[in-house]
Structures are given as C-alpha cells and as structure tokens.
Amino acid sequence: MRLLNRQRVVHLLLTEGPLARADLADRLGLARSSITAITGELIDDGTLIELSSRVEEPGYRGRPRILLGCNPQARRVVGVGIDERRARIVVADATGKVVREDETPTRGHNSASVIRSINRIAKHLVADSPGGPVTAAGVCIPGFVDTPTGVVMQSIALGWSKVELGRSISRALGVPTTVQDSTQAITVAEAISGQARQARSAMVLDYSSRVGIGLIIDGRPYAGATGVAGAIGHLAAYGSDAHCPCGRVGCVDACMSLLAMQAVAPQTVGVAFDDIDVEAVGRSTRRNIQSQNIIRDVIDRVAHTAVLIEAVLDPELLILAGFVIEFDELVDALERRIDELRPPERRGRTKTVRSQIHRDAHLSILVALEDIDPDIAGLLHPPTP
C-alpha cells in the first residue's frame, strides 16, 4: 500500500487544503512515522512545501504544528484525453490543477493528423502558461493499449490500429509520455483518491460505450502480465449475435455496452456521451415498454458478467464507474440485478458502490503524474515479455 501513499498524500492536500503531518496520518490511516518519511521525500523533490505554523486553539499545549501544502511551481505536466469526438489537451501544475486547456476534433481525422494537432496545441499551451518545467505527459484513450510501449494496438472507437502514440508525443514535447487505456486510468484514480483508496481489493466495472474491468489487488492497480488485464470488450459473449464495429459478431461491447441500448434512443446515435442529455433520454424511454425490455436485457447481461468476474476475484468492493452512473435509474437497475444474481454464499462479501469520479475528470493528468513518481510508474508499467 505504501507505494500509492505518495499520491494519496498529494491528493488529500490538494482537495482539503494545508494539513499537518498528524492530520495526514489520521485521515489516511497511516502510522505517523510513515507519513514523516513520505512527506520528507515529497518535500525533498519539491512536490510539497512547509507553510507557516498553525495558530492553535486557546489552551492548546505543545509545539505548534507545521502545515504542509502542495507546491504548484514544482513542475508541470501535459494531459491528453482522447475519445471518438475530440482530443482534450491540458497543462496542469504538480498538484493536478489545470492551468490551460484546448481541444482538437478526432472524428473524420486519421491518427497522424490528430497527433500533429495534439502536439501543436500542447506546445502552444506549454509556452503560454506559467509554472515550472514540464516533466511528463499522460494520455488516456479507449482501446487496447500496450502501456509499456505506448502503442495503441486497437481502438475501435477511433478506428486506430498499431499507432505509436506515446513515442510520437514524447518526441514532440521532449518528455516521457505514458499512454493508458481509460479503464486502467479510472482504476488508478479509484485506488488513489476514489472509493478504493482504503481497500485491499476492488473490481471496477467501467461501463460506457464500452465495457472494461479494472482490478485492484493488494491495494495496488493490477494491469496484468502485459498491461491489458480486464480488456473484455471484444471477447465473444455466449449466445449473442450482435454485430460489433470491429467486424466480429457477439462481442461484449456490442451486446452489453451503452451502445447496445441506443436502439431505444436513436437521437443519441453518433453523439458523444459528454453531449447526451441524460434527463431527456430517460424521459423518452421510461414509458416505452419495448425500450424497457431492451434495457432490461442489456442490464441482465452486464450483471451476469459482473457477478461471474466478482466470484473469481472475491473483491471487497465492486465499483460501478463510467457514463452509466449519470443515469440514476439505469445504475439502480444494475445494482439490483447484481444483488439478485449473487448466490447466497456470496451475499454480503462484496460491497457495490458507485464511483465518485466525474466523467469530465482529467484522468490524463493523473496518468502523467504517475510518471513523476517512479514507485507509481513501476506498478503500472509491467515489464515487456
């Protein structure tokens, strides 16, 4: 667990303001000796700074405690979040605060032109924003990603195949660049600052236009031997004849993702999930019996898959994440069906919770910050076989 605690300390200071070492130990459930060692490292590398002493309450006895805060001037990172409609490019300080951002379209553009636009915009944002040196870049993209090499092996959503994304951005910006599948990125976020931050084991069900599984084992994100654990989107689902954009029939994404429900809301076809009016979709489908039957069938398939994988892993938590959590009625139905399908011997062993990480979160910043910390980077970059 200690390997992730550097990022947990930084996140807590970022979200809750300056804190004393004793406060950090209490909030994170760590020994004060561990907090002293971790904060000492973070101060030495410039990530944290000591602030003025806290003014204690009247009657307080003892030495005034020194407050710690994040040092926004220590360094900067570039984050790039790519989906089927656009690439969002941001520059952030060492605390993860965005200082500049821009975007470029991806739909209708090939990978080479998108990467050129990303590099051009990133260079402009870096030159036009204040702060310390840029030390790393992070990229999130939906697809089958070889994280150690930064190659996007396949992204059906974008129509990309064998694209050397990491190397291209790294050469342009002159900094190490990590490319990560969006499911793995949200899993890391859950481990550091989300629902799994105190859990020894968890399973993340990333449910949007694709279905992905994230794993946390012994308190650490687990990416597998080659970095693609949990990439189930294009496995064949038994009994499905749904046609997948990849050209095959019966893929998990084709019959279980939110795309499998788009027949009930044809107005959402071709619309990026960020632009969908969730309330309007809910109103249009709520009283339509045929629509409800389609939704029920898809939910049933997802729930069966989740319960099966959960039984193999036996995690403390099952975290529902992705765009599905924007639909209250949909995620309520999914939770109920999962509970119904759990066999009696498994009930009460795994707790189902909803992710608190918003769909607009810049996960690419977290991916970039991981590279700054060699302990975190070592967890997420399995050795090339």
Provide the domain limits for residue 314: 197-354
pLDDT at residue 1, as a whole number: 52
d(CA 229, CA 248): 21
What interhelical angle do 182-193 and 363-372 show, nearest 10? 70
Report, as an integer, the average pLDDT of 336-357: 95
Which CATH number covers residue 124? 3.30.420.40
Token digits for 278? 């969730």
95 or 333, higher pLDDT:
333
pLDDT at residue 269, as a whole number: 59
**Same domain assignment for residues 205 and 336:** yes
Q: Which amino acid is at 127?
A: A
pLDDT band per the 50, 70, 90 thresholds, residue 366? confident
pLDDT at residue 119, as a whole number: 97
pLDDT at residue 273, as a whole number: 58
The domain total for the chain is 3
**Same domain assignment for residues 243 and 342:** yes
Return the closest-CA partner of residue 28 out of 222, 216, 219, 204.
Answer: 219
Distances (CA, A) of 251 to 39, 220, 368, 381: 47, 29, 31, 27
pLDDT at residue 385, as a whole number: 41
Indicate whether 347 pLDDT > 70.
Answer: yes
Indicate whether 373 pLDDT > 60.
Answer: no
Residue that is last in its domain, among 23, 39, 70: 70
Indicate whether 279 pLDDT > 80.
Answer: no
Which stretch of 4-13, 155-164, 333-342 has the lowest confidence by average pLDDT?
Answer: 4-13
pLDDT in tens, 250-267: 999 999 998 888 766 655
pLDDT at residue 96, as a whole number: 74
**Same domain assignment for residues 156 and 244:** no
Does residue 237 fall inside a structural domain?
yes
Give the CA count within 13 Å in the CB-facing half-sphere of 199: 28
**Same domain assignment for residues 46 and 94:** no
254 or 373, higher pLDDT:
254
**CB–CB of 282/329 below 8 Å?**
yes
**Same domain assignment for residues 202 and 345:** yes
Does residue 205 fall inside a structural domain?
yes
pLDDT at residue 332, as a whole number: 94
pLDDT band per the 50, 70, 90 thresholds, residue 63? low
Indicate whether 328 pLDDT > 80.
Answer: yes
**CB–CB of 352/320 below 8 Å?**
yes
Which stretch of 11-20, 47-56, 80-89, 279-288 has the lowest confidence by average pLDDT?
Answer: 279-288
pLDDT band per the 50, 70, 90 thresholds, residue 88? very high
Does residue 192 fall inside a structural domain?
no
pLDDT at residue 255, as a whole number: 93
The listed range with the strongest mean pLDDT (243-252, 291-300, 376-385) is: 243-252
Does residue 190 fall inside a structural domain?
no
**Same domain assignment for residues 224 and 279:** yes
**Same domain assignment for residues 287 and 311:** yes
Return the closest-CA partner of residue 178 out of 215, 126, 141.
Answer: 141
pLDDT band per the 50, 70, 90 thresholds, residue 379? very low
Average pLDDT, the chain: 84
pLDDT in tens, 99-144: 899 999 999 999 999 999 999 999 999 999 888 889 889 999 999 9
Which stretch of 145-154, 246-255, 357-366 has the lowest confidence by average pLDDT?
Answer: 357-366
Task: Give the strands of the sheet with 66-70, arranged side by side.
Answer: 19-20, 66-70, 48-53
pLDDT in tens, 185-238: 999 889 887 899 889 999 999 998 899 999 999 888 898 888 889 999 999 998
**Same domain assignment for residues 239 and 339:** yes
pLDDT at residue 376, as a whole number: 41
Strands 211-217, 144-146: pairing kind: unpaired
Does residue 219 fall inside a structural domain?
yes
Indicate whether 54 pLDDT > 60.
Answer: no
**Same domain assignment for residues 228 and 340:** yes
pLDDT at residue 272, as a whole number: 60
Token digits for 106? 């991806």
pLDDT at residue 235, as a whole number: 94
**Same domain assignment for residues 295 and 309:** yes
**Same domain assignment for residues 66 and 206:** no
**CB–CB of 182/283 below 8 Å?**
no
pLDDT at residue 42, as a whole number: 84
Query: Percent of the chain at pLDDT above 90?
Result: 45
d(CA 219, CA 352): 17
pLDDT at residue 165, as a whole number: 97
Does residue 191 fall inside a structural domain?
no
Mapping DSSP onto H, E and C, the string for the chain reads: CHHHHHHHHHHHHHHHCCEEHHHHHHHHCCCHHHHHHHHHHHHHCCCEEEEEECCCCCCCCCCCCEEEEECCCCCEEEEEEECCCEEEEEEEECCCCEEEEEEEECCCCCHHHHHHHHHHHHHHHHHCCCCCCEEEEEEEECCEEECCCCEEEEECCCCEEEEEHHHHHHHHHCCCEEEEEHHHHHHHHHHHHCCCCCCCCEEEEEECCCEEEEEEECCEEECCCCCCCCCCCCCECCCCCCECCCCCECEHHHHHCHHHHHHHCHHHCCCCHHHCCHHHHHHHHHCCHHHHHHHHHHHHHHHHHHHHHHHHHCCCEEEEECHHHHCHHHHHHHHHHHHHHCCHHHCCCCEEEECCCCCCCCHHHHHHHHHHCHHHHHHHCCCCC
pLDDT at residue 3, as a whole number: 53
Query: Percent of the chain at pLDDT above 70?
Result: 83
Does residue 15 fall inside a structural domain?
yes
Return the closest-CA partner of residue 138 out of 380, 383, 382, 384.
Answer: 380
Does residue 385 fall inside a structural domain?
no
pLDDT at residue 384, as a whole number: 41
Residue that is last in its domain, among 70, 91, 114: 70
Residue that is last in its domain, among 70, 90, 112: 70
Q: Return the ∠ at Cα 103 (arms to 123 and 170), rounded to 5°.
A: 40
Return the closest-CA partner of residue 136 out of 47, 76, 216.
Answer: 76
pLDDT at residue 17, as a whole number: 75
pLDDT at residue 282, as a whole number: 64
**CB–CB of 70/13 below 8 Å?**
yes
**Same domain assignment for residues 106 and 230:** no
